[in-house]
Every structure is written in C-alpha cells, then in structure tokens.
A and B are shown apart, each in its own frame.
Chain A
Amino acid sequence: MQRFPLLLAAGIPLKAESPWEDHLASPLPWGNWITNSIFVSALVVVFVVWFSRSATRQMEVVPGTRQNLFESIVESLYSTIEGIVGRRMVALSFPLLASIFFFILFSNWFSLLPGVGSIGWGERIAFITVPNVQVPLLRPATADLNLTLGIATFFMAFWLIVTIRELGFIGFLEHLFGVKGGFKGLFALLLLPIFFFVGVIEVISIIFRPVSLSLRLFGNIFAGENLLSYMITLGKQLGLPEAISYLMSILVPIPFYFLELLIGFLQAVVFTLLCAVYIQLSTSHDDDSH
C-alpha cells in the first residue's frame, strides 16, 4: 500500500504568520505583530458590529427583515442562556456570552469563504499564480490557538469576577473547600481533610476549563480547515490526470463545506453553552443546601 505522504503538511500552517514579516518590509513600524488571523478577526468584528448596528438602527414595532432576523437570534439565545444561568445572572452575563457566540460563529463561517487560505505568498510561477501558498493572507481567526485561548482566559476572568461578586471571597472558598452535605460539629471536623482534597480537585478542574474550551474550538476548526484543503487537493494527491483532479477539486469538498457549516455553528453554540454552564455551576447558590 503506497503510503501517502503526511498530507497534513499540505494543509494550512499551524502558526499564524504575519503577512508582512519576510515578504515585504512592513509598511507600519509596529506592523509585524499583525498576523493574518488577527487581521481576519478584525474583519469579523467589523462585520458583526456593522450587522448589529444596521439591524438595530431604527427599530420599529413591525420589524424589517434584518431586524427581524437579528431579533430572533438574540431572543432565542437570551432564552436559552436564561434557562441555564437563571434570571438574575443572565442580565449580567448575556452581553459577553452573546458577543462570544456571534464572534465565534461568524469567524468559523468566515473561514469557508473562497479565497481564505488560498490567496497569499509563495513562490509564484506566473504573475499572480502561486501553486502552493505558504503564507495565506486571510486565515480563519478561530483556527489559531492564540485567539481561542484569549477568548477562554478572558471568559474565565469574567467568571471569577462574577463568582466572587456573587458568593463573596469567603463564600467562594467555602464553595470550593467547604464541607458539603450539611454535616455539623465534630463530624465536619473529621471530614475537613477529605473535602480539602475535593477542593484541590475542583480547583484543578476549574484551571483546566479554559484549556479545554480553547483546544476544543481550535482543534475542530483547524482540523476542518485541513480536511477541506486535503479534500480539495485529493485529485492531485492521487496523481489523477489534470482534468479529473480539477473536477474532483470542485465536487469532492462540497459535502465537507456543509459539514464545516454545521461544525462551525455547533462549536459556537457549545462554547457559549459551556460558558453559561460554568457560570451557573458556581453562582446558583440559593436553592441547594448551604
């Protein structure tokens, strides 16, 4: 069985590179830190802001198409998060969760547009034809671990502030290390060391949350990008004649584009719901025995 070369290398490079670094002297003195994924995330932010501004500029009782669409999305998101986080917390956490949802959703779907990842620098044969793009100009924002880790750590900071505001610092420690199950007096003293270790495990699982949130989003989108680029170049990889491989590069990736649309939406929903669940886990303290 002829072993296929490691095809992942044909996919997009793991690290987001600065479009200016080694190709042109960067026009802006501080321009080197702008990587292609930062550029795309800025584009996505501009799009999200424009879409929400234009949908809510003059709001009427009978909503226009854009306002209607925007309202339905926000309302369904609000009711879902309210169902999880509870009425009091939703007012506090909804703005952040909704903006995280929109940003991740549109940057996931942005990566499916033609031209993202396929226009960029590489050794060129004719004037603008570059067979193998090394440094794509546009690179999907969420396919870059820096961005997903940034969102995850930013959310954990927000979570810490909200939890401490809600439970108070001592309440927060008690929530972690406290003796649960309503034991009192001597028995509680005996259980203290055990619950101390329970608290340590709790702290470890909390620290692991941003890691799992960011790796999950990054892994899914990055794998999807590689899957698409692998499917597009499938004909060339198998060494089929030019015409067939060209036709295959159009027809083969079509189902995977729909798969990526679903995964992009699903990962955005999952990221937001998990953030809501994490908030709910540590701030709904009025009903359980305390």
Chain B
Amino acid sequence: MIPLLAEAAQTIAGLSGNFTLGIAGAGAAIGIGLIGMKAVEAVGRNPTATGKVLTLSIIGMALAESIAIYALLTVFLGG
C-alpha cells in the first residue's frame, strides 16, 4: 500500500524523498511543541516549580525527539 502511495505521489506531484523521516519528523515536532506548550503553561500557573517542570519537560522532549532520530537513522543506514 505504502509503495503504491509513494509511487502515486511521485508521478502525480513529483513528490519524492524520504516519507519516513518526514512523517516521523512531523510527529516528533508536534509532540515537542505540545510538551513545550504545557510546560510554559505549568510555569505560568506556578512559577516556583520552574526547576521541576524544566527537568520533566526536557526528559519528555528528548523521548519525543528520539522517535525522529530513529527515522533519521533509517536515512543514514539506508534502511
């Protein structure tokens, strides 16, 4: 199914490139954006908890970002 879609995309709109990395990158970006939004909100609601919120949001963002890194590795390793 996916190769069919990729083929169709390529022929019709000339789209090409790495769909895996595109989708994973978009997903990770949305995830990190959400975490950032909620972190800023939390700090706004309780400024004294900045340290704790910062630690938690950094861990959350790193976990979200690693999904994009896995997809990025498929580019390097030619998966």
Taking Cβ atoms with an 8 Å cutoff, the residues of A that contact B are 8, 14, 80, 83-84, 212, 215-216, 218-220, 222-223, 266-267, 269-270, 273-274, 277
Known interface pairs A80-B55, A222-B76, A273-B55. Does A266 touch B62 (Cβ–Cβ under 8 Å)?
Answer: yes
Give the residue of A8, A218, A270 whose beta carbon is less than 8 angstroms from that of B62: A270
* Complexed CA–CA distance, A83 and B51 (Å): 11
**Chain B residues, CB < 8 A from A223:** 69, 72
Q: Does the CB pair A219–B77 fall under 8 Å?
A: no
* Complexed CA–CA distance, A215 and B55 (Å): 21
**Chain B residues, CB < 8 A from A83:** 55
Give the residue of B55, B58, B69 whose beta carbon is less than 8 angstroms from that of A219: B69
* Complexed CA–CA distance, A14 and B79 (Å): 14
**Chain B residues, CB < 8 A from A215:** 66, 69-70, 73
**Chain B residues, CB < 8 A from A222:** 76
* Complexed CA–CA distance, A218 and B58 (Å): 18
**Chain A residues, CB < 8 A from B69:** 215-216, 219-220, 223
Chain B nearest CB: distance from A82 CB in Å?
12
Instruction: Give the interface size bracket for B toward A.
Output: 10 to 19
20 A-B residue pairs with Cβ-Cβ distance under 8 Å, sorted by A, are A80-B55, A84-B55, A215-B66, A215-B73, A216-B65, A216-B69, A219-B66, A219-B73, A223-B72, A266-B58, A267-B62, A269-B58, A270-B58, A270-B62, A273-B55, A273-B58, A273-B59, A274-B59, A274-B62, A277-B59
Interface of chain B residues 32 through 79 with chain A (CB within 8 A): 55, 58-59, 62, 65-66, 69-70, 72-73, 75-77
* Complexed CA–CA distance, A215 and B66 (Å): 8
A216-B69, A266-B58 given; 20 more Cβ-contact pairs under 8 Å? A8-B76, A14-B76, A14-B77, A212-B66, A215-B66, A215-B69, A216-B62, A216-B65, A219-B66, A219-B69, A219-B70, A220-B69, A222-B76, A266-B62, A267-B62, A270-B59, A270-B62, A273-B55, A273-B58, A273-B59
* Complexed CA–CA distance, A72 and B69 (Å): 32
Chain A nearest CB: distance from B76 CB in Å?
6
**Chain A residues, CB < 8 A from B70:** 215, 219
**Chain B residues, CB < 8 A from A273:** 55, 58-59
* Complexed CA–CA distance, A182 and B55 (Å): 31
* Complexed CA–CA distance, A84 and B59 (Å): 12
Chain A nearest CB: distance from B35 CB in Å?
13
**Chain B residues, CB < 8 A from A8:** 75-76
